[in-house]
Structure 1
Amino acid sequence: MKNLILTLLVIALFAVAAFYIYDNIRERTHEEKIAEIIHLEDSRDFSAKLISYTQDSVVSIRARAALAVGRIGAKGAGELLYRLVAEDVDDVASVAAFAIGLTGESKYTNPLADLAQTAPSRVAENIVASIGRLADSTSTGIHKELTSFLLHPSPEVRAQACYALFRANARTEATALIDFIEQEKDEEAQLAALYALSRMRVQDAYNTYVSFLADADPFVRSLALRGVGLSDNKGAIHYLTIALNDSDKNVVATAISILAGKEDDTSKKKLAALLPKTKDEKLLVDIINGLFRQNNQTALEDIRYILETNNSPNIISASIKYLAATEQDKAVMKIDSLMRNENRQIRAAAAEAFGIIGSKNNIPRLSILFSDSDPLVRMTAMSQLLDIDSTNLKFYLDQALADSNFVMRSVAIDEITTRKLIAYLPQLRNISMNAANLKSDIRRSLADCAGRFLSDNKNDTNALRILVNASLDKNYIVRKEAIAQYNDILGEDRSDMLRTVQTRFSTSQIEKAIKKYRVNPTATIITSKGQFDLELYFDVAPLTVMNFIDLAEKGFYDNLIFHRVISSFVAQGGDPEGTGWGGPGYMIRCEYSDVPYIRGTVGVATSGKDTGGSQFFIAHTPLPHLDARYTVFGQVIFGMDEVDKLVVGDTIKEILIQEGKQL
């Protein structure tokens, strides 16, 4: 019997060994290779294995590996990608040209410009875009190079040259852009030039801006308005007034925002005159906030009436802040009546309103709000108290550091950092020694705090200990940020401590998803305002889509609110805290791509590279300045009018996933 068992054991071991050898020498399928590349990317593992895939015989494998190298952005990535741009076939060179722009290695801008002169158009397009991402306002030599691409025969390259000049903040080339837009025939290239001029706030292009005010595209009209609004020309107010009656609400919102930034009597009267006739909640909030910015007292009676006849938390919140600024102490009674309102947004606005008044008489009221059950209210109240009642700074910070909510603790550490309160360092050191089970936001705040104090005194033992703890953190981002502090402040290269990332999805899970989603899945988001449908871009951002589907199917998003809605910009939700600080308890890696942000594009909200989780946003308009800076993982394909209706506080009721089929 013993001999039989021993024989069977030997056979089993032999079988395992044989399978292991076979599995390592057999040719991987295409799906297996792609899955492994994605997993290496997710692990932030710039290893020999990933590099070997950039030399694979299959073009699509080399291209996908090149993208992974750029997304990781590790030391040496630029050199490898530049070689692929210069030497590989167009399909690989084009991807590598995009990917090198993600590395931050600005030394490649001039060599890339040389390559772009003779590269095929689709490769040159990505090269020029990457030069814009790698350059900055000091790169005057490369600015001239970029301007030369305004003469390129390809309209796509010319358009990217305009965007690149904007990203590099090449204001010295404004005249070239003005001349270009007057002669250019391609609409997309014209749009890119107009975008660059308005975003760089070039005032000399006034006549150019005016010429686009009647364009059929609402986004073009909005850009033209932004440009016109830069001028103090009386005609600018005339054009802005006309735009207040535009058929597109995003254009109207843009006009309101620009008028709100002007302090002349005419602008104030025009903005105040909108109040009685505006019924749309988002636009009404924009107007009230604009009047607040202007310190416009002419609308006082209208806003009092609106406040008494409206029950929208957004309108009430904006109105009491306006009253606080306009009436000061006279507004206290009204704010008092709202500070115990059941809606936390209104209570937080009451705290902010007391802060706007700025009177020490309101310290007892703010103290009540500082003890509120909701962290958003506590956080807002604390911010006001630290300014109004600075003599009791220590009390408020001590309370916040002991708070059960991680947001309060993180905000307290950030305040200590900003105010350089060195006496707190021993306490923060103790927190860092026992931080393993704390939220990563707190640990990130501690790492940042250590760096700020070490920039003043590199020998501060408490700050050094906090930084050591952060560099050993289990969270990749905390380690990465701590190691960056070592490099930038202390001049020490500790990159060997970074290690790879602990991932959520295995190679086999990714391979299974690749086979499952040969056609991109879709999602239906049902909200308190209506529903809309997304195509989820698994082919562009597979890990992000897998994470989104996983959370949606677990019911994570059910009953969460849209906590951030900005007219003519984005609607953002997916935060269980409802403050902008929350997430699922882990972070996902960014999957940057060359998919542009157009109206309805869905992106991942982050507080830095690789810090996403559950929060997402939907673009109300094209947002080229977000391209390749935030992961694109979907697009609204039906119901964008429902997205336009969303306001702060609207709820996600449910997200339904339809797998592998288009709606």
Structure 2
Amino acid sequence: MRHVLACTLAVLGCVAAVVAAEPVPAPAEAKAQVLALADARRFDPAPLASLARHPDAGVREAVARAVGELASPAGVALLAQLANDPEPGVRSAVAQGAGRLASMLPEKAGEREALGKELRHLLQDHTPDVRTAAAWGAGMAALKGSDLWVLQRLSLEKAPAVQAALLQELWRFPGSLWIKRATTFMASRDARVRLAAAWSLARSGRAEAVAGLKQAAGDGDPVVRMVALEGARRVNPGALWSELLAGVTDADGRVRMAALQGLAATLVKDPGRILPPQGVERLRALVGDADPDRVQGRVLAIRLAGAARCCQEQLRAAMAGGEPWVAGEALVAFAQLGEVGSDQTVREWFASKDLPRRLAAVNAFKHINQGQRQLIAALADPQAEIRLAALASLGEDASPTVTSAIKQRLEDQDPAVRAAAVEALAGRNALPGPGELVPLLEREHGTEVPDAAVALVNSLAQSDPFTDEAKAALERLVAWPDPVVARAAWGALLKRGAVVPLPEVKAGREAAYYRNVLEWAGKPRWLEVVTVRGTLQIAMDTASAPLQCFRIAELSEKKFFDNLTFHRVEPNFVVQGFDPRGDGWGGPGFVMRDELTLAPYEAGSVGMALSGPDTGGSQLFVTLTPRPHLVGRYPHIGTLAAGLEVCQRLRVGDRILRTRVGEGPLPAYLPIRYGPISAERLDREIAGWREERESYKPQSKWLEMLRTAKLRYGLVVAMGTWCGDSREQIPRLQAILLALGEHSAFDPPRLVGTDRSKSIDTKLYPYGAVELVPTIVVTAGGSEVGRVVESPKSGSIEEDLVHILAPVEGWELPNE
């Protein structure tokens, strides 16, 4: 190993000597050069050696991160050089690069040992941030014995932030030596440390972790409790049963949702368990909860009701409701109950022309009589979404009939279906041999969507025995023009121990392009996403991912995201969307190279969805709770400055109405409020509300007529706090009522909030569908006598009210 490293250093030293006389580029130009090399996935020793000696620390930091992405053994020497840099930011980048590079070298490569040496050295660094990065690097590298270094450092570490970084990587290591040590940290005074310990215990899935998880389930920090209850899905069924039951009534919604998920998982694994009566009663209330802000928790309750085989009436009501995601989940749960007529109900849904109902039926087929036959038939459905859902619903069914039907989908016209079929057959150990896989791969050459080719590549790599034919095919694929397929083939060969250079990418960009990107990224940028449930305002992380942020902004400016959907909602975890296919398999027609840093994934972090290295396109996700396992593995695109509550009420299928990008400070944020809204809350939470009311002067002639009304009238208002007309007209209505004072014929108005979907609680607003907001309904004796829709016809609400009351009061109005 020392011989290899010494030779590499000598080569780089010679290169450095050659380039030493060249002028030093300005920092902006140097960073653009690094970005160009990283985007092309090209390890070019001469410029990298020169740039690693640049006087600007930011350039050296960029080099260290880039070297980690370029998968060249020659990069080890550069990282060793930079590991002694005086700037902590550079050494932190070295720790990240070393961990990443080690993960991309063959397992038996001697350079991995050298990288491990650097990581061990950096774990002792005097700067906490460097030690934190080295902890991540150790988890990423997963070198033999690295768990012992981490535990050794943990026994000496005093900084809570570094303790947390070490603890949250422990679950990645084999064995269980670390579990007892991690459990002791549940007594830490620092919530970050307790959370990190609970995180590794929860993800380990080991029986030895149960004691620590029980302790964490009673922690004072709700996120620690949530993580502990999430661990119930991985340990032995029932190990945390009492903690899960208690969690359902926790004061924190995140803990309640984790408890619902854990109970459902336990009942699936151990169907003999029964929820206690008080648990069933609580579950009935949750299944029937129609509050829009708690819809994701309601879906989890519905899933638990299916696993517990209870709550029939509440499930029927949810199925009959107008929310497609909720109704579909209720259908699946209802099918699990085995009620008389449930089979027929599922078949009726499948016969519908409505795609969400058909998809729900496919998901429910596995719970009904002759469901396998229905799913096999669905594999040949005209709609690709149905075929994909059927493949997923067949799960692990490895019967000959099912396997034969799935093999037919290898010829499917849709590349996503072909890919899913390959993965399904691989999971059943039913793939054909290399002799048949290679021709299938050749057929994928030139297709616009590489998913099927990538699935075939991965399957070819797993073939046993791994034949010379399979190896030769993968070596050819490394040269494919599609960078995703080439990268997948390279990764497959790497797993088989083959040493092949990382395929370069023909980015087709001039140097000026990268300079422009970095200039653009040097200013504060934001992305605003307007959905039917509210607005997300994202502060873009251009420092972590300048090129990916730039290209996302380009897509937004081209209106690419308008009218797309959120296709994935995982309560308590993520919401994901921005896919033109709407099913998770689509993209913008190009892929981007990953730009990975150690930016944290807290609640409200925005990341780039991936299906493998360097596969990012247009799909973005938002984390709903802290998710440290994503750090350094998914590009960090930004952070929600506003709108986390919107993400928490998104449903599958919700539309993105429009997006826009901007520079500088974020625009004013308009929150959405649902249900009954008090005047005091509007004054307090909606900017400009009070000012609009106080500045409006109603016309006196119409006020005088309104004061003469003899009957009493009600006012029911459907409004949107996000809507400009609502923010203008409803404060004016309030001003009119204040001006009328004790002579007003109107009861205080009932203000009912809704979002852009216009769905509304019919108990609060029993006057038909809301098409536009605001809609002001005027009633007498409980019956409608007229309404003002969006904006007054006459130009003022007070005049419109006079026209509505005139026929009832018998007023004669002057001719206008």
Tell me the TM-score normalised to structure 1 length.
0.85
- 1:172 is matched by which residue type in structure 2? L
Q: Deviations over 1:230-280 (max 9, x none)?
A: 899999655434432344322221111122233464536455333432213
Query: Aligned residue for 2:295?
Result: 281
Work out the CA distance in 1 between the residues paired with 2:22 and 2:422: 53
Work out the CA distance in 2 between the residues paired with 1:390 and 1:546: 49
| 377-386 vs 613-622, which moves further | 377-386
Q: 1:526 to 1:169 in 2, by over 3 A?
A: farther
SS at match of 1:28: coil
- Give the one of 168, 173, 188 matched to 1:168: 173
Work out the CA distance in 1 between the residues paired with 2:240 and 2:404: 49
| 33-42 vs 153-162, which moves further | 153-162
- Give the one of 437, 443, 455 matched to 1:445: 455
Work out the CA distance in 2 between the residues paired with 1:276 and 1:383: 29
SS at match of 2:439: helix
- 2:420 is matched by which residue type in structure 1? V
- Give the one of 155, 159, 162 matched to 1:154: 159
Work out the CA distance in 2 between the residues paired with 1:412 and 1:210: 40
Q: Give the 5 Å matches for 1:138-153.
A: 139=145, 142-143=147-148, 145-153=150-158
Query: Aligned residue for 1:458?
Result: 467
Shift of 1:378: 1.9
Q: Give the 5 Å matches for 1:490-501.
A: 492-495=498-501, 498-501=502-505
Work out the CA distance in 1 between the residues paired with 2:637 and 2:164: 24
Q: Give the 5 Å matches for 1:193-208.
A: 193-201=197-205, 202-205=209-212, 208=215
SS at match of 1:635: strand
Query: Aligned residue for 1:377?
Result: 386
Query: Aligned residue for 2:553?
Result: 549
Q: 1:383 to 1:631 in 2, by over 3 A?
A: closer
Q: Deviations over 1:116-158 (max 9, x none)?
A: 335333322222231232236x63x643543433432322222
Work out the CA distance in 2 between the residues paired with 1:29 and 1:260: 58
Verify: 1:597 aligned to 2:637, yes or no.
Answer: no
Query: Aligned residue for 1:566?
Result: 570
Query: Aligned residue for 2:83?
Result: 85
Verify: 1:536 aligned to 2:540, yes or no.
Answer: yes
Query: Aligned residue for 2:784?
Result: none
Verify: 1:298 aligned to 2:310, yes or no.
Answer: yes
| 219-228 vs 245-254, which moves further | 219-228
Shift of 1:475: 1.6
Tell me which stretches of 4 or more aligned residues in structure 1 moved more than 6 Å: 228-235
Query: Aligned residue for 1:12?
Result: none
Verify: 1:134 aligned to 2:141, yes or no.
Answer: yes
Q: 1:622 to 1:487 in 2, by over 3 A?
A: closer
Shift of 1:67: 1.4
SS at match of 2:621: strand
- 1:377 is matched by which residue type in structure 2? I
Q: Give the 5 Å matches for 1:165-564.
A: 165-168=170-173, 171-182=176-187, 184-201=188-205, 202-205=209-212, 208-212=215-219, 214-215=220-221, 218-226=222-230, 237=241, 239-263=243-267, 265=273, 267=275, 269=277, 271-278=279-286, 279=289, 280-292=294-306, 294=307, 296-307=308-319, 309-327=320-338, 330-357=341-368, 359=370, 363=373, 365-366=374-375, 369-382=378-391, 387=397, 390-391=400-401, 394=404, 397-398=407-408, 400-418=409-427, 419-422=429-432, 425-426=435-436, 429=439, 432-433=442-443, 435-453=445-463, 455-456=464-465, 458-459=467-468, 461=469, 463=470, 466-467=473-474, 469-489=476-496, 492-495=498-501, 498-503=502-507, 505-564=509-568
Q: Deviations over 1:164-221 (max 9, x none)?
A: 3233356312222233332x33332333223233333511225632541x43xx3233
Shift of 1:620: 0.2
| 440-449 vs 642-651, which moves further | 440-449
Query: Aligned residue for 1:50?
Result: 48
Q: 1:29 to 1:432 in 2, by over 3 A?
A: same
| 150-159 vs 549-558, which moves further | 150-159
Higher relative contact order (CA 8 A, sep 6+): 1
Work out the CA distance in 2 between the residues paired with 1:267 and 1:74: 56
SS at match of 1:534: strand
Q: 1:561 to 1:504 in 2, by over 3 A?
A: farther
- 1:167 is matched by which residue type in structure 2? R
Shift of 1:629: 1.0
Tell me the TM-score normalised to structure 2 length.
0.70
Q: Deviations over 1:467-489 (max 9, x none)?
A: 35523310223123223444544
SS at match of 2:652: coil
| Identical aligned residues as a percent | 24
Shift of 1:421: 4.1
Structure 2: tracts of 5 or more residues without a match: 1-20, 104-111, 668-816
Work out the CA distance in 2 between the residues paired with 1:340 and 1:651: 25
- 2:331 is matched by which residue type in structure 1? I
Work out the CA distance in 1 between the residues paired with 2:238 and 2:422: 48
- Give the one of 65, 70, 73 matched to 1:72: 70
Contact 1:339 1:350 in 2 (8 A): yes
Q: Deviations over 1:38-67 (max 9, x none)?
A: 111111111121232112122221111111
Contact 1:237 1:267 in 2 (8 A): no
Q: 1:235 to 1:301 in 2, by over 3 A?
A: same
Work out the CA distance in 2 between the residues paired with 1:30 and 1:426: 52
Q: Deviations over 1:394-441 (max 9, x none)?
A: 56643x344332212222333454543437954860661562234211
Task: Indicate the RMSD between aligned Cα atoms, in angstroms.
Answer: 3.2
Shift of 1:642: 1.0
| 76-85 vs 254-263, which moves further | 76-85
Work out the CA distance in 1 between the residues paired with 2:426 and 2:236: 40
SS at match of 1:519: coil
Work out the CA distance in 2 between the residues paired with 1:152 and 1:479: 42
Query: Aligned residue for 1:648?
Result: 652
Query: Aligned residue for 1:98?
Result: 96
Q: 1:550 to 1:457 in 2, by over 3 A?
A: same
Work out the CA distance in 2 between the residues paired with 1:397 and 1:557: 35
| 318-327 vs 253-262, which moves further | 318-327
Work out the CA distance in 1 between the residues paired with 2:457 and 2:236: 45
Query: Aligned residue for 1:3?
Result: none
Query: Aligned residue for 1:17?
Result: none
Q: Give the 5 Å matches for 1:607-626.
A: 607-626=611-630
Work out the CA distance in 2 between the residues paired with 1:78 and 1:127: 15
Shift of 1:499: 3.6
Query: Aligned residue for 1:8?
Result: none
Q: 1:205 to 1:247 in 2, by over 3 A?
A: closer
Query: Aligned residue for 1:16?
Result: none
Work out the CA distance in 2 between the residues paired with 1:467 and 1:325: 44
Work out the CA distance in 1 between the residues paired with 2:422 and 2:239: 49
Q: 1:433 to 1:404 in 2, by over 3 A?
A: closer
